């Protein structure tokens, strides 16, 4: 065929020319670049600079995904230096924890996640881009919810709640609490929050927080690239459940 794609870069054939012309006739609205730049800047104000400390840096080539995970771990490692501030921030696996601030006012009824709906486990697996893991220590969940168009899956057992979410790119949950600093856990690597604390949801699009209410003691860890947030057990049981995730 004359239109072999190998040669298409040289001389476009008739169809290719038509496609190019069609592309040029397509209107896509574009806001003023300066407005976009300002809006992006507003969201980045106050964030740490993206420079990775050198002992973690040197991202291995072509492994941006790995670098992303490491970057979050680095933010974590960098936090103790920030503790002189009134409020320190720890960011891990899609969860941002603010320690030392006043914390939110306790609200009465826990609010659902935006767009939360009941689904079956299979439906949840189809609805999200990450792998939904079920801890074998708990078995089949009693109830499954998908929220915010598949960004978060919540598995529920009596008294226990496990949120799973894409824990690599953006902040999904924000937690606020007073001291003490959460306890670091090595296996699986994560953080144990022993006290009740305020939880808000950080939507992917706007970044405007949605308060969810007050959570009890919680374990946060990362399963592959999936952020995991387990609430409703003591620390020993939480670790047993976390370790049973395949």
Partner 1 sequence: MDDDDAIARSLAGDLDAYEVLVARYSAVAHRTAALLGAGDETEDVVQEAFVKAFRHLAGFRRDSAFRPWLLRIVANETHNLTRSRGRRADLSVRLGREREPYEPEEPEEAAVAAEDRSRLLEAVRRLPERERETVVCRYFLQLSEAETASVLGVRLGTVKSRTFRGLKRLREEVGRELLP
Site residues for partner 1 per CB under 8 A: 1, 3-6, 8-9, 15-16, 18-23, 25-31, 33-34, 36-41, 43-45, 47-52, 57, 59, 61, 64, 67-68, 71, 127-129, 148-151, 169-170, 204-206
Identity of the residue, 3 or 107, whose beta carbon is nearer to partner 1 in the bound complex: 3
Residue bearing tokens 């999904």:
172
Identity of the residue, 73 or 185, whose beta carbon is nearer to partner 1 in the bound complex: 73
Q: How far is the CB of 219 from partner 1 (least distance, A)?
A: 25
Q: How far is the CB of 220 from partner 1 (least distance, A)?
A: 19
First to last CA, the chain: 50
Residue 161: exposed, middle, or buried by beta-carbon count in 10 A (0-12, 13-18, 19+)? Answer: buried
Q: How far is the CB of 228 from partner 1 (least distance, A)?
A: 19
Identity of the residue, 38 or 118, whose beta carbon is nearer to partner 1 in the bound complex: 38
Q: How far is the CB of 36 from partner 1 (least distance, A)?
A: 4
CA distance 208 to 194: 27
Identity of the residue, 72 or 155, whose beta carbon is nearer to partner 1 in the bound complex: 72
Residue bearing tokens 């003023």:
32
Question: Distances from the Cα of 195 to the Cαs of 155, 182, 218, 231, in angstroms?
Answer: 22, 9, 8, 11
Tokens of 80: 């103790």
Q: How far is the CB of 107 from partner 1 (least distance, A)?
A: 27
Q: What is the sign of the dihedral through the CA atoms of 238, 245, 133 and 138? A: negative
Q: How far is the CB of 42 from partner 1 (least distance, A)?
A: 10
Tokens of 94: 């899609």
Identity of the residue, 97 or 153, whose beta carbon is nearer to partner 1 in the bound complex: 153
CA distance 182 to 194: 7
CA distance 83 to 116: 35
Identity of the residue, 222 or 233, whose beta carbon is nearer to partner 1 in the bound complex: 222
Report CA dihedral (235, 134, 73, 181) to the nearest 10 degrees: -20
């Amino acid at each position: 065929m004359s239109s072999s794609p190998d040669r298409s870069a040289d001389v476009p054939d008739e169809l290719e020319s038509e496609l190019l012309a069609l592309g040029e006739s397509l209107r896509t609205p574009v806001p003023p670049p300066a407005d976009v730049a300002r809006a992006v800047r507003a969201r980045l104000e106050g964030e740490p600079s993206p420079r990775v400390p050198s002992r973690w840096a040197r991202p291995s080539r072509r492994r941006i995904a790995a670098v992303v995970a490491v970057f979050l771990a680095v933010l974590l490692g960098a936090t103790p230096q920030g503790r002189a501030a009134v409020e320190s921030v720890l960011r891990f696996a899609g969860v941002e924890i603010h320690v030392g601030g006043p914390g939110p006012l306790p609200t009465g009824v826990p609010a659902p996640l935006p767009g939360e709906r009941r689904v079956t486990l299979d439906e949840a697996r189809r609805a999200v881009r990450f792998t939904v893991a079920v801890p074998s220590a708990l078995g089949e969940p009693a109830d499954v919810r998908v929220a915010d168009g598949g960004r978060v899956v919540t598995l529920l057992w009596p008294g226990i709640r496990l949120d799973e979410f894409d824990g690599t790119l953006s902040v999904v949950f924000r937690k606020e609490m007073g001291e003490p600093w959460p306890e670091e856990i090595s296996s699986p690597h994560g953080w144990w929050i022993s006290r009740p604390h305020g939880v808000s949801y950080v939507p992917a699009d706007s970044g405007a927080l949605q308060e969810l209410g007050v959570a009890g003691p919680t374990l946060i860890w990362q399963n592959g690239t999936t952020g995991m947030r387990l609430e409703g057990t003591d620390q020993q049981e939480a670790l047993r459940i976390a370790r049973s995730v395949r």
